[in-house]
Amino acid sequence: MKQLILASQSPRRSEILKNAGFQFVSFPVHVSEIPNKNLILDEQIIDIARRKAKACEILALAQGLDGVVLSADTMVCLGSETLGKPENEQIAFEYLTKLSGKSHQVKTAVYLIDLNTKDEVSHLETTDVFFRELSEKEILNYIATKEPADKAGAYAIQGEGRQFVQKYVGDFDNVVGLPLQALQKLFKLKAWNFLKLQPEP
């Protein structure tokens, strides 16, 4: 059995793994999330996830851990424009105004490193999300909840932001921040068996 090491302090990603029964440890990592514009969009997102995984690999090895590092990076894409985490409320307002009444894509890249074999694998998952028309008042009221602050695209589909979503096509967890279905397929493909949480008595 391998130890799963999550290169993130995101409570949303942690919750997805816990709900799926995985036992894991978290290592918050701090790396530049500025995209490398020399790469195509999908590769930019994978590259940021790779940076996080590599930084976590160094920390985990320094503490003598063995297992598999898992990192992720999520980006909201409206046409050719990318909407990351808003730096302030004005930018959150701009993002939500742009998304109003339109469809967009949520792309999450995952990057995995086996600390023992140094095997590395990545995957990019895309989910299509459709927003209904939003009024200025709705947007301002939502921003006042502070929920958009640390969310790609300035909304949380698993929170109050779900009221804006008309429909989505693809993996719901991918929009939250971790494509669980794709991850489990990767684990099976690599024959990685991870420690699981013990059921409560």
| Residue 29 maps to a domain | yes
Q: At 193, is the secondary structure helix, strand, or coil?
A: coil
Is 6 in a helix, a strand, or coil? strand
Does residue 24 lie in a domain region? yes
| pLDDT confidence of residue 105 | 98
Q: Does the active-site annotation cover 119?
A: no
CA distances from residue 8 to 13, 115, 149, 179 in whole angstroms, order as listed: 8, 17, 17, 15
Structure token pair of residue 61: 């090895």
Structural domain includes residue 55:
yes
Strand partners, 25: 5
What pLDDT shows up at residue 85? 92
Domain containing 96: what range?
4-189
Position 197 in a domain? no
Q: What one-character DSSP code corresponds to residue 39?
A: S
CATH of the domain at 118: 3.90.950.10
| Nearest-angstrom CA–CA distance, 165 and 170 | 13
d(CA 145, CA 38): 37
Task: Report pLDDT for 183.
Answer: 96
Which residue positions in the chain have pLDDT lower than 70? 199-201
Q: Determine, yes or no, domain membership for 70.
A: yes
Which position has the token pair 């949520």?
106
| pLDDT attached to residue 195 | 86
Residue 47 lies in a domain: yes
Q: Enumerate the β-bridge partners of residue 105.
A: 77, 128
Alpha-carbon distance 4 to 1, whole Å? 10
In total, how many domains does the chain have? 1
Q: Catalytic residue, from 42, 73, 119, 128: name it.
A: 73
Q: By three-state DSSP, how is residue 144 classified?
A: helix
Q: Which two tokens stand for residue 184?
A: 């489990």
Q: Please report whether residue 164 resides in a domain.
A: yes
pTM over 0.75: yes
Residue 133 lies in a domain: yes
- Predicted confidence at residue 28, as pLDDT, reads 87
